[in-house]
Structure 1
Amino acid sequence: MHTAEFAADPHGAYDKMRAAGPAAPVELAPGVEATLVVDYQAARSVLQNPTDFVRDPRRWKALNEGLIALDNPVLPMMAYRPNTLFTDGAVHLRFRKAVTDSLARLNVGRIRRDVEPIAAFLIDQFSERGRADLLNDYAKLLPLLLFNRLFGCPAGIGDRLTSAMSAMFDGRDALKASDEITACLMELIKLKRRDPGDDVTSWLIQHPAGLADEELKDQLVVLMGAGIEPERNLIGNALLLLLSRGPSSRGAGMLPEEALDHVLWHNPPIANYATHYPVRDVDLGGVRVEANTPLVISFGGANNDPALGAARQSLSKGAHLAWGAGPHSCPAKSPATVIALTGIEAVLNALPDLALDVPAEELQWRPGPFHRALATLPVRFTPTPGTRVAALHSPAQAPRTTAEPTLVPAAPFVQQETKPAKKGFWSTFLDIFRV
């Protein structure tokens, strides 16, 4: 599942697996074996049975026996952290309550108000060129900057966090990036304990669950990990769908909301994840799964299970498994949908003649066992002056910048004669909007 061949045709692989049963043995990364559930009903039964299938990876037999190298690339996505994703029972309920209560304070209006200026800022960076990579120039950066806003990051921490998150998701020195993310979040928590604001970090700190700093850090890690990578893939995959059927028809009349729903059913941004560990040997529709071995849910495979057939038409709109199911279902599906929809509408409205710059079948998909993610999304459009930022505020508040910011950490202040460090995206955005 870590090969380019799998990334190019995952649904073909799911079909072959499904022919042998509801689940099949797979290799997530070199030396990492697991069982992948590709049957819809079997997947739902696992997700909704926290008694027999638990989420705590400290049960992982092969890892405990030293058979998995500690630098294996899938460990950051699978190793234990004390957060809502990797815990069970009362501990999970405590963490989840803090997370869901904090996210519930993000209403639709607030999210749209935060997304729109970020979208405008990013579009201004490429609108005059007439060409862009909507994945790396837009869909990737929008959730990175938005989470800085939602978490209340000041300029310095936000620049470092943006750079480190980008490096980790792109596989560039992931261990160093992970350490930098930890350092940034611990600084942010310390800051917000001293000076709370109207942001998710402060709300988590103030929650009656009384989370310690390490617990707070790990809830923020899972919120970012579960929000940034899937969000960029959701935006990118939906834009591909809308553009691949011709710019004049916008997906043969498909609305952005419909495109998002189609992607969640057919090409969910996180295609395979929600790792469970059976507490005992189990028989899953004739497939034997050993206790304490990884059992991964294929959201992409299960959603496209032919056994659903005509029955899928009678299922509710949200019956797909892209958000999971059961006690660990995604607590942020409403905010995530609003973010994606607002981001998609912003770029389509700003660049009305947007079109793919290469045939859809020539686009490359990023290898990886967990995501369904484009490598690039090249587009062309009529060049337009970058006026979207100016339209969102008065000139007296923030003159338009002509800088081309890059994803680099903010450098520490040094009292010497030297050229000022180039600002990162987040501090440049803050300079413009004074937020």
Structure 2
Amino acid sequence: MTTSFPDDASLTPPPGCPAHGLGAQGLGANGLRRLYGPEAEADPAGLYEKLRAEHGEVAPVLLHGDLPAWLVLGHSANLTAMRTPSRFSRDSRRWTAFQEGRITPDSPLMPVIAWQPLCVFADGEEHRRLRGAVTESLNRFDRRGIRRYVTRFADQLIQDFGSTGRADLVAQFAEHLPMLVMTQVVGMPEEYGPRLVEAARDLMKGTETAIESNDYVVATLRRMMERKRVAPGADLVSWLMQHGAGLTDDEVLEHLRVVLLAANETTVNLIADTLKLVLTDRRFRAHLSGGHMTLPDALDQVLWDSAPMSLVAGRWATGDTELGGQQIRAGDMLLLGLAAGNVDPVVRPDLSQPLYGNRSHLAFGSGPHECPGQDIGRAIAETGIDILLTRLPDLRLALPEGELTWTSAWLSQHLVELPVSFTPPTKPGEETAIAEGNAPTTPPAAPAPLPAEPAEPPATAAAIPRQRRGWWSVLTGRFRR
């Protein structure tokens, strides 16, 4: 069946369409399925399969405000949309809904699709200029240096909770490690790390202080740019400012912010999901510990099964075209279904078969907008998980697997917590002291004082009026289930 959107948003499916005449929750007045709200977010994978059964590789759906869009479900169709910018542009200003004034300033879609002077919204020569600066700057980093940062911070985090024999590997490990490493990549003093971790967590959780946390991130980056202009170093801030592409200060700032937050968000999910699989799948853990599967192979399996971002919004048709059997009109919006494409029966007829080492998944995208920092993200996840499993080899889940919960949204899913128990590790040199009854009693050193500027992010949501909503909350409409 072929469907096309009419000029207005009140599309009525033709008789015979699976959505025709349906009035259940989760469906718009026109019978199309919504990608937002409790019904869709409670079981996004189930929704994708219903849409695949009804429409095939590309399905008509509704976004917030019941605005029509196309969800790309097929693996091949996703690659086509990603790799042909001449047909499917990244410039959101092409969207018909924008041009017709149907997007209000407070729309939940705005943080995702509002055009900005970033490489992620650019095509052609402008994209090559901006993307080249980011890619070439990131590629200057020594991967061994990245791994040294990961080792240092992973050891610190494990030391913080190791003596208790219990931990939440989401809140105490996965949500901290990527941002701590990225502060070093950006070129910030180490003492900025804890504050940026808290700000990033606040953004991800969508609290009432998320806007202030975002302001803190921006103020911190501006301060670093001022410092690096006077005293440049071997870091991302300096290299972007010095790049021959001639980025403006605003372009440098916005790309730094995107790299910092996007790398943190996706790598947190990758670490958490991999650790969850290790703790809940005995065969997976046995293959990993027995040497039948390397940790990089394990990460690829997780990237197939649990893409850090379920959807990417979006692409916009440059003209009337066809994709996956659907007639796409100029100005229509496409959503890249990364999670759905990764379980496409055409490429994965048997989901139980492992795909260790197969990197043809969609988790990092493809084409000119493929994730430029994927190697750094993988290095952080791989090294951090390896250190954790080496230091705490008897990690075990501290509750039944069925009690694990996720926060869900139209863009992604996030593991809420991963409580574990383990045997506290013994510090080097303590074995003899403990055996002789002389365990060390010196308290840990006080943490180094944090810099006075920029101002700290808000400590609690109580300080902010309740009516103020964080941009991440607006972005995802996230809720707990």
Deviation at 1:304, TM superposition (A): 0.7
Where does residue 209 of structure 1 map in the other structure? 245
**1:366 aligns to what SS in structure 2?**
strand
Kept after mapping to 1: 8 A contact 2:163/2:424: yes
Where does residue 361 of structure 1 map in the other structure? 402
Where does residue 187 of structure 2 map in the other structure? 152
Where does residue 267 of structure 1 map in the other structure? 306
Amino acid aligned to 1:218: E
Deviation at 1:402, TM superposition (A): 5.4
Q: Deviations over 1:94-132 (max 9, x none)?
A: 111111111111122111111111111111111112111
Cα distance in 1 for residues equivalent to 2:349 and 2:200 = 42
Equivalent position to 1:76, from 108, 111, 118:
111
Kept after mapping to 2: 8 A contact 1:245/1:252: no
Kept after mapping to 1: 8 A contact 2:183/2:190: no
Where does residue 17 of structure 1 map in the other structure? 51
Deviation at 1:362, TM superposition (A): 2.2
Where does residue 239 of structure 1 map in the other structure? 275
Amino acid aligned to 2:255: Q
Kept after mapping to 2: 8 A contact 1:244/1:251: no
Equivalent position to 1:324, from 365, 382, 385:
365
Amino acid aligned to 2:297: E
Where does residue 347 of structure 2 map in the other structure? 308
Q: Deviations over 1:268-326 (max 9, x none)?
A: 11121151011123332332334323211111101110012469999982111111111
**2:71 aligns to what SS in structure 1?**
strand
Cα distance in 1 for residues equivalent to 2:357 and 2:158 = 35
Amino acid aligned to 1:35: W
Where does residue 42 of structure 1 map in the other structure? 77
Cα distance in 2 for residues equivalent to 1:87 and 1:205 = 19
Where does residue 92 of structure 1 map in the other structure? 127
**1:369 aligns to what SS in structure 2?**
coil
**1:373 aligns to what SS in structure 2?**
strand
Kept after mapping to 1: 8 A contact 2:279/2:397: yes
Equivalent position to 2:320, from 271, 281, 286:
281
* Residue 161 (str. 1) matches residue 196 (str. 2): yes
**1:201 aligns to what SS in structure 2?**
helix
* Residue 249 (str. 1) matches residue 286 (str. 2): yes
Cα distance in 2 for residues equivalent to 1:404 and 1:383 = 22
* Residue 334 (str. 1) matches residue 375 (str. 2): yes
* Residue 227 (str. 1) matches residue 263 (str. 2): yes
Equivalent position to 2:95, from 51, 54, 60:
60
Cα distance in 2 for residues equivalent to 1:413 and 1:102 = 26
Where does residue 291 of structure 1 map in the other structure? 330
Where does residue 200 of structure 1 map in the other structure? 236
Kept after mapping to 1: 8 A contact 2:300/2:356: no
Where does residue 128 of structure 1 map in the other structure? 163
Q: Deviations over 1:29-72 (max 9, x none)?
A: 45554321011111111111100101112223324544334334
Where does residue 27 of structure 2 map in the other structure? none
CA pair 351-316 structure 1, distance change in 2 beyond 3 A: closer
Deviation at 1:183, TM superposition (A): 2.0
* Residue 349 (str. 1) matches residue 386 (str. 2): no
Cα distance in 2 for residues equivalent to 1:386 and 1:56 = 54
Cα distance in 1 for residues equivalent to 2:111 and 2:427 = 39
Kept after mapping to 2: 8 A contact 1:120/1:346: yes
Deviation at 1:360, TM superposition (A): 2.3
Amino acid aligned to 2:82: L
Cα distance in 2 for residues equivalent to 1:371 and 1:28 = 15
Where does residue 141 of structure 2 map in the other structure? 106
CA pair 34-292 structure 1, distance change in 2 beyond 3 A: same
CA pair 300-184 structure 1, distance change in 2 beyond 3 A: same
Deviation at 1:251, TM superposition (A): 6.1
Cα distance in 2 for residues equivalent to 1:279 and 1:400 = 64
**1:379 aligns to what SS in structure 2?**
strand
CA pair 142-86 structure 1, distance change in 2 beyond 3 A: same
**TM-score, length-normalised on structure 1?**
0.84
* Residue 138 (str. 1) matches residue 177 (str. 2): no
Any stretches of 5+ residues in structure 1 without a counterpart?
A: 389-398, 415-420, 424-435
Q: Deviations over 1:159-191 (max 9, x none)?
A: 553333221111123333333322221221111
CA pair 73-224 structure 1, distance change in 2 beyond 3 A: farther
CA pair 191-410 structure 1, distance change in 2 beyond 3 A: closer
Where does residue 433 of structure 1 map in the other structure? none
Cα distance in 1 for residues equivalent to 2:312 and 2:88 = 14
Any stretches of 5+ residues in structure 2 without a counterpart?
A: 1-34, 430-441, 460-481
CA pair 313-158 structure 1, distance change in 2 beyond 3 A: closer
Amino acid aligned to 2:334: L
Percent identical residues:
37
**TM-score, length-normalised on structure 2?**
0.76
Amino acid aligned to 1:108: R
Deviation at 1:195, TM superposition (A): 0.9
Where does residue 418 of structure 1 map in the other structure? none
Once the two structures are overlaid, the 10-residue window that deviates more, 246-255 or 24-33, is: 246-255
* Residue 376 (str. 1) matches residue 417 (str. 2): yes
Kept after mapping to 1: 8 A contact 2:297/2:357: no
Amino acid aligned to 1:179: D
* Residue 175 (str. 1) matches residue 178 (str. 2): no
Kept after mapping to 2: 8 A contact 1:125/1:386: no
Cα distance in 1 for residues equivalent to 2:326 and 2:107 = 27
